[in-house]
Structure formats: C-alpha cells, structure tokens
Amino acid sequence: MSSDFSALIAEREVLVLAGTGGVGKTTSAAVIAIEAAMQGRRVALVTIDPAKRLADALGLESLTNTPSRIALPAETTGEVWALMLDTKSTFDALIHRYSANTDQASRILDNSFYANISNALSGTQEYMAMEKLYELTADGDYDLVVVDTPPSRNALAFLDSPNMLSRLLDHWLYKALMAPTRSLLKASQLLLRQLSKIVGSDVVEDVVAFFQAFEGMEEGFKQRSQQVQRLLASDACGFVLVASARHDTVVEAVFLANQLADNDLGVAAVVMNRLQPDFVRLNRRPRAPEFEPFLQAHDELHALADREAIHIDALLDQVHGNPVVVRVPLLSSDVHDLDGMTELRTKMFSK
Amino acid sequence: MDPDEYFDRTRMILVAGKGGVGKTVLSACLARLAARTGRSTLLVEIDGRSAFGPLFGVENIGYDEVRLAAANGGSGEIRGRTITPDVALVEWLDDHGLKRVSKRLVKTGAVDVISTATPGIKDLLVLGKIKQLVHESDVDVVIVDAPAAGHAMSFLRAPAMLAKMAKTGPIHAQATAVLEMLGDASQCEVMLVTLPEETPVNELIDTAFQLEDDVGIQLAPVVVNGLYPIIEGLDVDLTKLAEQGTIKTNLGKQKMDELTAAGDFRQKRTDLQSSQAARLAQMLPLEQLTLPYIFDADIGLAQIDQLADALAAGIAQLTLEAT
C-alpha cells in the first residue's frame, strides 16, 4: 500500500493536502516533500496555515513568500524549498502583472477596499494559495509542488477561490458603475446612498474607486483563474486527504471528499494519521501485581485501536475512486524537528 | 471555589482554541455543569455544522433556540442555537429600520459587497447578536463555542477595528457597545482550551497574549484537554524481573515485548503531556483546569458528564477571586 504512495509522489507534479485542524496535515505535507526529495525530485512546499505550523515543524524561525531551501541530510539527492504564503504580497504581484501601467497598479494598491480584500477577505488566502501554486508550477523550476491548506471547513472556499474575484467583478454593481445605463445608474446610486448610511460614505467611495481602478484587468484575472482550475483538474494534480481516526475528523474528511467530488475532483490518497499503535493481543494475563499497570495500558490502547478501526472503515467506505490508503501510527513523541520527520517518513513510506 | 461561585462571576463564557482540541466538548461540559447548579444555559454555535446536536441527541440546531435538556429537579434547562453571520446581518438591518432595504440588499447580492467592503462586519454583528442574547435572554449563562483559533482572533478584534473605521453611525454604535461587553469581566470571559501537545500549546499562548493585548478580554483558567491519567508502576522493568524469577509470567517473549512496549508508549506519551502542561503553566500565568482522556468510548452525553465531574473537581481547586 505505502509503496503505492511513494509511486504517487514520484509521478505527480502537484499534491494538495486537505483535512481538518489538528490531524497533522502540515507535518504530513513536509514529510511528503522530503520523501520526494529523497527520490531525487526538486520540491516546492507551500503552507498557507496562519499558525505558521510548518515553520514550527521544520524548526524554522520564519518562512517568507519566496521559497527557501530546507537543510536535509547530505545523502538527499533532491531538494525541498519551503515558503509560508504571504497573501498580500502575492495579491500585489498579481495586480502588478495585470495592470496596464504603474499608475493603475498604485491606484488599486493604495485603495482601502483593496487592502481589505487582500488582507482579510475570507477566501483570499485560499485564492492566493492557488495563485502561488500556479506560479510555482508555471515557472517550471520544480518537479513537484506540495500545498498545505487551511482546515476543511473552508474547503469550498478553497476549491471555489479562483472564481471569487471573477464573481465580484461580474457583480451588477460593478457593471453599473463601469458601463452605466441610465436606469442601472439610478438604481445603483440609490443603493449606494443607502449603503453609505449603514457603513459610512468613506467605505462606499473606496468601493467605487476600487471598481473604477480595476477597469480593463478583469479579463486577465479571469483567464488566470481558468488556468488554475485546469491545473487542479489535470492528471498532474492529486488531492491527499489527511484525517485522524476520530468521529469528528472523519465527518470533516467525508465532507471534504464530497466537496471534491462535487467539483469532479478525486481523492488520490487518504493518510490516516496519528493512529494508536496496535499491540499484539494477549491470550493469557499474568497474575503478578507488577503486570497490572502494563495490562491496563495495553487494554486502553487496544480499546482505542478498536474504536479507530471503526472510524477508518467509515471514512474509507465513503471516499470513492479507490485512493491509496496510508496508515501512520502516533509516535511516542511529538514531531517538530527533522529527526521526528525522518521517523515519521519511515512510518509513512514503510514497505 | 465551587461551580456555583464560578458561574456567578460572569454571564457569558466564550470557549476558544485551535481546531480539534475539544472546544465543543468543553462547551457542552460547561453547560452541563452550569445546569447542575440549577442555572439555565444557552449553548451558542457560530455557523458551521452543528456539533451539539449529535451530543445531545437533537437532530438539528438552527437559528432558533431548541431545548437540548429539560430542567429536572435541581438542574437547569439547556438550550442551544446557532448564529449564522448572514442571518445576523439581515436581522441587524431589520432592527435598524432598514427592513425594506435589507431584502433588496440580499436579493441583489449587495450584502456580499458590504461584507467585503467592511471586513469584520459579520463578526461584529454575530458578537452584537451574542450581546443581545446575554442582555435580553432569560437564561442565566451563555456558553459560546467560538470559531477555531486563527479565526477567533479576527473574530474578537473586529469590533475595535470597526469602531475605528466607522467614526459615526449605527456600525460605530454597535462596535462600541460590543467593545464595552468584551471589556467587562462580569459580562464575559474567554476560556481557552488546548491539547497537551507542542503546537496547540504554542498557539494557545500566542492567542492568550493577543487577546489580552488587543481585545482586553478577561481570560478564564486555561483548559488542558485529553490528559492521559497517570498509571503508576510503568517504570518497572518487567522483562528483567521475569528473567530474575522475581515475578512469574505465562507470556512468551514476543507477548512480553508487546506488553512492555505498550507500557513504554503509554508512559512516554504521558510524560510528554505533563511536560507540555508544565511548559504552558510556566509561560502563561493562568490557572489550569484539566480534562482526562477518555479511552473506552467516543464522546457522548455520558462522557460529557464524566468530564464535567473532572471540571468541577478542578474548579474546586481554583484560587480565583469570586466577584
């Protein structure tokens, strides 16, 4: 099973990891990147997690928007270049790319509605992650791009994110402001007056100014979105679902798998992470009191492993498309450095 | 301090933490505990799938309140509801004399433009709705299962941001009122929860300091969830004792190894947990409450009650001042 996972990593050009919080998604992304590097591939690792967990996991002080090389054992034939997505500067770069001139770019970059979109708008982070993914893939500098994602509750935003800005630009208000017919203009001005009363006229003026500054750039943005969508749907791209064997994380993982299916995307692999080690059952129970604490520990871990098996079956029952299934045991220590990841890698890819 | 005194301190407890650390379980525990003191309790979820429903055996929890547990003898009623940001926004518009407009704003999609133009407006209006519940609802205690960690910060920062952005008008008024509630310990506090593991502990510490610095909200004791109960006697070298003939074993070598490996694994995870809890205590000057790991069953109402017992025992040990 696990060797199939190794093969999957050897052949894909893009791997997107998805799963709920606390299942070890970021660490798995890093371990997958390292495995690919061990195979001799040049890998870019993108994390968009705001908690900077990848930095934590890789023992790095900080990550930036440009990939920096991770120190790996000398015998590694490939390379891992990691970055922490900087949403705003990725968006800024996109504005520069599609603006007709620097004047148009700075009118947008200085606008406070733009600042809101590029910083705080939910979905922007996912959208920019896809943009970064596309940028890294299009450059051709890397054999594989591994992307970490925010928790699965945002899955829809993540899959739909390339369309987000197009939708905003398709908005009738935008059209009314750009190509005003008399009746549209009248309606929009009435609405803008009402909006001003609620959120203040400054806010409304910023929105109008942003839409006006954006004129002529929509087409470029839409095309870019379509390119990203095509990449996600291509055979070069694989989605990896990461889950732990608990009822709540399984529910979230199934939810995510369904979102992918709704978008005609399949699950290439399921990583069942942090599983309790399953110790061999005992046929006899020694009587000496010294055994008692060990028997208790053994019984407890068994009860856990049994419950986990039920949750794993439930998940695999509901994920279609015959994904590679990888089972990774919980280690006796937390993984937050390279040694820990090396140990985890041997578990994840054990033959 | 007994739980009765604890729930006298504040009207609303906002439970926050990284995803997967047990926010929902803790919220349910707090509700059961408050109910035991005879208080009526409202459990509030923000958007998302309903996690309380399955716990309390209620099919679906929506925007309207539903009863999760009836008052029974000395124990109070527990009710539940969700607050959906979009509905909160429309409701707020209706309440502010914009009923006619609100329908059009939704229909034309202008609501999306409003919320994009003023990030945090939905967060503010959700908090505004919670404030309204705290003030107007007839329940004694409100427990809020807050959005996951990263989002919890932007959620609680929204009022200050909007108070600054909108200098006058209804949004400003709403933001000011919510800020007043957040700054008043008798009205609300945040209870942060974590697992005793490296990353969630780090995130909890960051969140705690940010909440104190940026929001000025009262921090309740922190909750360390999923602590393995300590098993004494796992430091014994069973194999050696058996070889020496000190103890008798009817297990073969392989089974002996499995047994000691299980004990060893359990002990290492327990040590790791203790060291993380100790690190948390050292880096964050807040008292700790602990919840034990449940090995033998998935979390249901029986387990919630078992955890509520542990929570009550922990609260009894707190040295917090009653208000």
Tens digits of per-residue pLDDT, A305-314?
Answer: 999 999 999 9
Q: Is a pLDDT exceeding 80 seen at residue B296? A: no
Provide, as residue numbers in chain A, all residues whose Cβ is less than 8 Å from the Cβ of B255.
280, 282-284
Q: What is the pLDDT of residue A178?
A: 60
Q: Do the Cβ atoms of A293 and B234 come within 8 Å?
A: yes
Of residues A168, A301, A334, nearest to B116 (C-beta): A168
Burial class of B74 by CB neighbour count within 10 A (0 to 12, 13 to 18, 19+)? exposed
Tens digits of residue pLDDT in B74-104: 899 999 999 988 888 888 888 887 777 777 7
Q: What is the pLDDT of residue B305?
A: 95
| Residues whose CB is less than 8 angstroms from the CB of residue B208 and which lie 6 or more positions away in sequence, other chains included | B192, B219, B222, B284, B286
* Closest alpha carbon within chain A to B105: A191
Parallel, antiparallel or unpaired: strands B66-69 and B78-83:
antiparallel
Q: Are B169 and A197 in contact (CB under 8 A)?
A: yes
Taking the Cβ of residue A294 and every Cβ of chain B, the question of whether any pair is shorter than 8 Å is answered with: yes
Rg (CA), chain A: 24
Of residues A172, A298, A334, nearest to B262 (C-beta): A298
Q: Just give the CATH number of A2-87+128-160+232-277+288-348.
A: 3.40.50.300
User: Which of A143-157, B88-102, B145-159, B164-178 is most confident?
Assistant: B164-178
Q: What is the pLDDT of residue A50?
A: 45
Q: Is a pLDDT exceeding 70 seen at residue B195? A: yes
Which tokens hold the place of A143?
């054999």
Closest by Cα among A133, A119, A111 to A217: A111
Parallel, antiparallel or unpaired: strands A14-18 and A68-69:
unpaired
Q: What is the pLDDT of residue B53?
A: 84
Q: How far is B296 from chain A (nearest CA, A)?
A: 6
User: pTM for the full model?
Assistant: 0.85
Q: What is the pLDDT of residue A3?
A: 62
Q: What is the pLDDT of residue B149?
A: 54
Of residues B117, B268, B297, nearest to A207 (C-beta): B117
Determine the residue type at A48.
I
Q: Is a pLDDT exceeding 60 seen at residue B224? A: yes
If contacts are CB pairs under 8 Å, which of residues 54-83 in chain A contact chain B?
A: 56-57
Q: Is a pLDDT exceeding 50 seen at residue B232? A: yes
- CA end-to-end span of chain A: 8
Taking the Cβ of residue A192 and every Cβ of chain B, the question of whether any pair is shorter than 8 Å is answered with: no
Taking the Cβ of residue B295 and every Cβ of chain A, the question of whether any pair is shorter than 8 Å is answered with: yes
Under-50 pLDDT residues of chain A: 1-2, 50-51, 152
Sequential DSSP letters for A120-172 = T-TTHHHHHHHHHHHHHHHHT--SEEEE----GGGHHHHHHHHHHHHHHHT-H
Domain boundary assignment for chain A: 2-87+128-160+232-277+288-348, 105-127+162-222
Q: What is the pLDDT of residue A229?
A: 84
Which tokens hold the place of B61?
């929890």
Supply the ipTM of this predicted assembly. Answer: 0.85
Print burial letters for B227-245: b (CB count within 10 Å at least 16), e (below 16).
bbeebebbebebeebbeee
Taking the Cβ of residue B244 and every Cβ of chain A, the question of whether any pair is shorter than 8 Å is answered with: no
Q: Is a pLDDT exceeding 50 seen at residue B49? A: yes
Taking the Cβ of residue B119 and every Cβ of chain A, the question of whether any pair is shorter than 8 Å is answered with: yes
If contacts are CB pairs under 8 Å, which of residues 16-55 in chain A contact chain B?
A: 20-23, 50-51, 53
Q: What is the pLDDT of residue A79?
A: 95
If contacts are CB pairs under 8 Å, which of residues 211-240 in chain B contact chain A?
A: 231-234, 236, 238
Q: Do the Cβ atoms of A279 and B250 come within 8 Å?
A: no
Q: Are B101 and B65 in contact (CB under 8 A)?
A: no
Segments in B137-168 forming alpha helices (H): 149-165
Tens digits of residue pLDDT in A324-339: 999 998 887 777 677 8
Q: How far is B38 from chain A (nearest CA, A)?
A: 30
Which tokens hold the place of A18?
């998805």
Q: What is the pLDDT of residue A73?
A: 86
Provide, as residue numbers in chain B, all residues whose Cβ is less than 8 Å from the Cβ of A120.
119-120, 154
Q: How far is A142 from chain B (nearest CA, A)?
A: 29
Taking the Cβ of residue A236 and every Cβ of chain B, the question of whether any pair is shorter than 8 Å is answered with: no
Rg (CA), chain B: 23
| Residues whose CB is less than 8 angstroms from the CB of residue B302 and which lie 6 or more positions away in sequence, other chains included | none
Q: What is the pLDDT of residue A44?
A: 95
